[in-house]
Amino acid sequence: MNRLAFTVETRAGRRALEGRIEALIIAGWTGRDAAAVEHHIAELERLGVKRPKTTPIFYRAASSLLTTEGAIEVAGPDSSGEVEPVVVSLAEGLFVAVGSDHTDRKVEAQGVTLSKQLCAKPISAMLWPLDEVAPHWDRLVLRSFAVTGGQRRPYQEGPVAALRPPVELMTKYLGGQGSLPPGTVMFGGTLAVPGDISPADRFEIELEDPVLRRRLTHSYDIRVLPVEG
Protein backbone atom coordinates (compact mmCIF):
# COMPACT_ATOMS: atom_id res chain seq x y z
CA MET A 1 0.00 0.00 0.00
CA ASN A 2 1.20 3.51 -0.86
CA ARG A 3 -0.05 6.50 1.15
CA LEU A 4 -0.02 9.86 -0.62
CA ALA A 5 -1.10 13.29 0.58
CA PHE A 6 -3.35 15.12 -1.89
CA THR A 7 -5.16 18.45 -2.08
CA VAL A 8 -8.57 18.36 -3.74
CA GLU A 9 -9.48 21.49 -5.67
CA THR A 10 -13.21 21.95 -6.23
CA ARG A 11 -15.38 24.82 -7.35
CA ALA A 12 -16.10 25.46 -3.66
CA GLY A 13 -12.47 25.51 -2.51
CA ARG A 14 -9.67 23.20 -1.47
CA ARG A 15 -9.28 20.49 1.13
CA ALA A 16 -6.62 17.98 2.16
CA LEU A 17 -7.12 14.30 1.44
CA GLU A 18 -4.99 11.24 2.12
CA GLY A 19 -4.93 8.58 -0.56
CA ARG A 20 -4.31 4.90 0.17
CA ILE A 21 -3.22 3.43 -3.15
CA GLU A 22 -3.24 -0.34 -3.60
CA ALA A 23 -3.31 -0.81 -7.39
CA LEU A 24 -1.70 0.99 -10.33
CA ILE A 25 -2.86 0.50 -13.92
CA ILE A 26 -1.13 1.99 -16.96
CA ALA A 27 -3.49 2.13 -19.95
CA GLY A 28 -1.62 2.13 -23.23
CA TRP A 29 -2.49 2.93 -26.85
CA THR A 30 -5.68 4.69 -25.82
CA GLY A 31 -6.06 7.06 -28.76
CA ARG A 32 -9.47 7.51 -30.38
CA ASP A 33 -7.91 8.19 -33.78
CA ALA A 34 -6.58 4.99 -35.34
CA ALA A 35 -3.99 6.94 -37.38
CA ALA A 36 -2.67 8.69 -34.26
CA VAL A 37 -2.44 5.36 -32.43
CA GLU A 38 -0.50 3.91 -35.34
CA HIS A 39 1.84 6.92 -35.25
CA HIS A 40 2.63 6.32 -31.58
CA ILE A 41 3.12 2.59 -32.16
CA ALA A 42 5.50 3.45 -35.02
CA GLU A 43 7.41 5.83 -32.71
CA LEU A 44 8.05 3.00 -30.30
CA GLU A 45 8.75 0.46 -33.03
CA ARG A 46 11.68 2.65 -34.11
CA LEU A 47 13.01 2.13 -30.61
CA GLY A 48 12.55 -1.63 -30.93
CA VAL A 49 9.28 -1.90 -28.98
CA LYS A 50 6.94 -4.62 -30.19
CA ARG A 51 3.37 -3.86 -31.19
CA PRO A 52 0.75 -4.32 -28.45
CA LYS A 53 -1.49 -7.40 -28.43
CA THR A 54 -4.60 -5.22 -28.19
CA THR A 55 -5.51 -1.54 -28.19
CA PRO A 56 -6.06 -0.28 -25.63
CA ILE A 57 -3.97 -2.48 -23.36
CA PHE A 58 -3.71 -2.37 -19.57
CA TYR A 59 -0.39 -2.89 -17.80
CA ARG A 60 -0.17 -3.47 -14.06
CA ALA A 61 2.61 -1.87 -12.03
CA ALA A 62 3.46 -1.65 -8.34
CA SER A 63 1.49 1.00 -6.48
CA SER A 64 4.69 1.93 -4.64
CA LEU A 65 5.95 3.54 -7.86
CA LEU A 66 3.49 6.44 -7.52
CA THR A 67 5.04 9.63 -6.17
CA THR A 68 4.21 13.30 -5.79
CA GLU A 69 7.83 14.19 -5.05
CA GLY A 70 9.81 16.66 -7.13
CA ALA A 71 12.57 14.27 -8.17
CA ILE A 72 13.00 10.64 -9.20
CA GLU A 73 16.07 8.44 -9.60
CA VAL A 74 16.58 6.23 -12.65
CA ALA A 75 19.24 3.71 -13.65
CA GLY A 76 21.08 4.96 -16.73
CA PRO A 77 20.28 7.69 -19.26
CA ASP A 78 17.62 5.95 -21.33
CA SER A 79 14.36 6.93 -19.63
CA SER A 80 11.85 9.64 -20.46
CA GLY A 81 8.49 10.95 -19.33
CA GLU A 82 5.12 11.32 -21.04
CA VAL A 83 2.19 13.39 -19.83
CA GLU A 84 -1.11 11.61 -19.12
CA PRO A 85 -4.48 12.24 -17.51
CA VAL A 86 -4.81 10.08 -14.41
CA VAL A 87 -7.92 8.81 -12.64
CA VAL A 88 -7.52 8.35 -8.89
CA SER A 89 -10.21 6.29 -7.17
CA LEU A 90 -10.47 6.89 -3.43
CA ALA A 91 -13.10 6.15 -0.81
CA GLU A 92 -14.38 9.69 -1.32
CA GLY A 93 -14.95 9.19 -5.07
CA LEU A 94 -13.20 9.52 -8.43
CA PHE A 95 -10.65 12.25 -9.01
CA VAL A 96 -8.38 13.48 -11.81
CA ALA A 97 -4.64 14.13 -11.59
CA VAL A 98 -1.95 14.77 -14.17
CA GLY A 99 0.89 12.27 -14.30
CA SER A 100 3.94 11.11 -16.17
CA ASP A 101 4.39 7.50 -17.21
CA HIS A 102 8.16 7.73 -16.89
CA THR A 103 9.60 4.71 -18.69
CA ASP A 104 12.98 3.14 -19.41
CA ARG A 105 13.04 3.20 -23.23
CA LYS A 106 15.96 0.79 -23.57
CA VAL A 107 14.24 -1.87 -21.47
CA GLU A 108 10.93 -1.12 -23.21
CA ALA A 109 12.39 -2.71 -26.33
CA GLN A 110 12.82 -5.93 -24.32
CA GLY A 111 9.42 -5.89 -22.64
CA VAL A 112 6.89 -3.15 -21.99
CA THR A 113 5.58 -4.60 -18.74
CA LEU A 114 9.10 -4.80 -17.30
CA SER A 115 9.91 -1.25 -18.42
CA LYS A 116 6.81 0.11 -16.69
CA GLN A 117 8.02 -1.39 -13.42
CA LEU A 118 11.50 0.20 -13.47
CA CYS A 119 10.67 3.89 -13.04
CA ALA A 120 8.70 5.94 -10.55
CA LYS A 121 5.39 7.35 -11.78
CA PRO A 122 5.08 11.03 -10.79
CA ILE A 123 1.61 12.53 -10.37
CA SER A 124 0.30 15.88 -9.19
CA ALA A 125 -0.53 16.35 -5.52
CA MET A 126 -3.56 18.38 -6.62
CA LEU A 127 -6.72 16.56 -7.71
CA TRP A 128 -10.03 17.58 -9.28
CA PRO A 129 -13.30 15.69 -8.75
CA LEU A 130 -13.94 13.79 -11.98
CA ASP A 131 -17.60 14.80 -12.02
CA GLU A 132 -16.60 18.49 -12.23
CA VAL A 133 -14.71 18.02 -15.49
CA ALA A 134 -16.58 15.09 -17.06
CA PRO A 135 -19.20 17.32 -18.80
CA HIS A 136 -16.45 19.17 -20.72
CA TRP A 137 -13.74 16.49 -20.64
CA ASP A 138 -12.81 16.84 -24.32
CA ARG A 139 -11.88 20.48 -23.81
CA LEU A 140 -9.08 19.67 -21.36
CA VAL A 141 -5.55 20.13 -22.71
CA LEU A 142 -2.39 18.16 -21.91
CA ARG A 143 1.08 19.68 -22.12
CA SER A 144 4.61 18.66 -21.23
CA PHE A 145 7.98 20.40 -21.35
CA ALA A 146 11.45 18.89 -21.31
CA VAL A 147 14.36 20.74 -19.71
CA THR A 148 17.83 19.72 -20.87
CA GLY A 149 21.01 21.62 -20.11
CA GLY A 150 18.94 24.48 -18.74
CA GLN A 151 16.95 24.79 -21.97
CA ARG A 152 13.16 24.34 -21.68
CA ARG A 153 11.27 23.19 -24.77
CA PRO A 154 7.72 22.07 -25.54
CA TYR A 155 7.58 18.28 -25.69
CA GLN A 156 3.88 17.36 -26.04
CA GLU A 157 0.62 19.27 -26.37
CA GLY A 158 -2.92 18.42 -27.36
CA PRO A 159 -6.51 17.94 -26.20
CA VAL A 160 -7.51 14.92 -24.16
CA ALA A 161 -10.14 14.46 -26.88
CA ALA A 162 -7.39 12.56 -28.71
CA LEU A 163 -7.60 9.87 -26.00
CA ARG A 164 -10.41 7.55 -24.95
CA PRO A 165 -12.38 9.08 -22.04
CA PRO A 166 -11.92 7.72 -18.51
CA VAL A 167 -15.33 6.05 -18.30
CA GLU A 168 -14.63 4.08 -21.48
CA LEU A 169 -11.20 2.96 -20.23
CA MET A 170 -12.56 1.95 -16.84
CA THR A 171 -15.38 0.03 -18.50
CA LYS A 172 -13.00 -1.83 -20.81
CA TYR A 173 -10.62 -2.67 -17.97
CA LEU A 174 -13.42 -3.95 -15.75
CA GLY A 175 -15.10 -5.98 -18.50
CA GLY A 176 -18.09 -3.72 -18.97
CA GLN A 177 -19.31 -3.04 -15.46
CA GLY A 178 -18.58 -1.12 -12.30
CA SER A 179 -16.05 1.58 -11.46
CA LEU A 180 -12.46 1.44 -10.31
CA PRO A 181 -12.28 0.14 -6.73
CA PRO A 182 -11.13 2.67 -4.14
CA GLY A 183 -7.35 2.67 -3.87
CA THR A 184 -6.86 2.26 -7.63
CA VAL A 185 -5.03 4.65 -9.97
CA MET A 186 -5.27 4.47 -13.77
CA PHE A 187 -3.04 6.37 -16.19
CA GLY A 188 -5.05 7.20 -19.30
CA GLY A 189 -2.57 7.22 -22.19
CA THR A 190 -0.43 9.87 -23.81
CA LEU A 191 -0.03 12.01 -26.91
CA ALA A 192 2.45 11.47 -29.72
CA VAL A 193 5.73 13.35 -29.46
CA PRO A 194 6.26 15.64 -32.50
CA GLY A 195 9.88 14.66 -32.95
CA ASP A 196 12.10 12.16 -31.20
CA ILE A 197 11.32 10.60 -27.85
CA SER A 198 14.23 11.79 -25.71
CA PRO A 199 15.46 11.95 -22.11
CA ALA A 200 15.63 15.18 -20.11
CA ASP A 201 17.08 16.58 -16.90
CA ARG A 202 13.67 17.79 -15.76
CA PHE A 203 10.13 17.10 -16.94
CA GLU A 204 7.14 19.41 -16.49
CA ILE A 205 3.53 18.36 -17.01
CA GLU A 206 0.15 20.06 -16.90
CA LEU A 207 -3.54 19.48 -17.49
CA GLU A 208 -5.47 22.65 -18.32
CA ASP A 209 -9.21 23.14 -17.85
CA PRO A 210 -10.11 26.16 -20.00
CA VAL A 211 -13.75 26.01 -18.91
CA LEU A 212 -13.16 26.34 -15.16
CA ARG A 213 -9.89 28.22 -15.78
CA ARG A 214 -7.50 26.13 -13.73
CA ARG A 215 -4.53 23.83 -14.19
CA LEU A 216 -3.07 20.76 -12.59
CA THR A 217 0.72 20.89 -12.73
CA HIS A 218 3.71 18.88 -11.61
CA SER A 219 7.42 18.91 -12.35
CA TYR A 220 10.26 16.66 -11.36
CA ASP A 221 14.02 16.32 -11.78
CA ILE A 222 15.46 13.11 -13.22
CA ARG A 223 18.56 11.98 -11.33
CA VAL A 224 20.51 9.45 -13.37
CA LEU A 225 22.29 6.71 -11.41
CA PRO A 226 25.30 4.92 -12.93
CA VAL A 227 24.90 1.48 -14.45
CA GLU A 228 27.79 -0.64 -13.19
CA GLY A 229 26.93 -3.94 -14.78
Residue among 77, 74, 69 at smallest CA distance from 118? 74
CATH of the domain at 167: 3.90.850.10
In which order are the strands placed within the sheet that holds 71-75? Answer: 71-75, 214-225, 202-209, 141-148, 151-159
Residue 219, pLDDT score: 98
Q: Which amino acid would we find at residue 69?
A: E
User: What phi and psi values does residue 37 have, to the nearest 5 degrees?
Assistant: -60, -45
Q: What is the pLDDT of residues 153-200, one digit of tens each?
A: 999 999 999 999 999 999 999 998 778 999 999 999 999 888 888 999
Quote the mean pLDDT of the chain: 94
**Could you tell me the pTM of the whole model?**
0.94
Specify the pLDDT at position 123: 98
How many structural domains comprise the chain?
1
Q: How far is CA 227 from CA 85, 97, 144, in A?
A: 31, 32, 27
**pLDDT one-digit tens code per residue, 71-101:** 999 999 999 999 999 999 999 999 999 999 9
pLDDT band at 51 (very low <50, low <70, confident <90, very high): confident
Cα angle for residues 66, 136, 207 (degrees, 5° grid): 35
**pLDDT at position 50:** 81
Is residue 180 a contact partner of residue 58, using CB atoms and an 8 Å limit? no
What is the separation of C-alpha 179 from the centre of its chain, rounded to a whole number of angstroms? 19
- Structural domain of residue 65, as residue ranges? 2-225
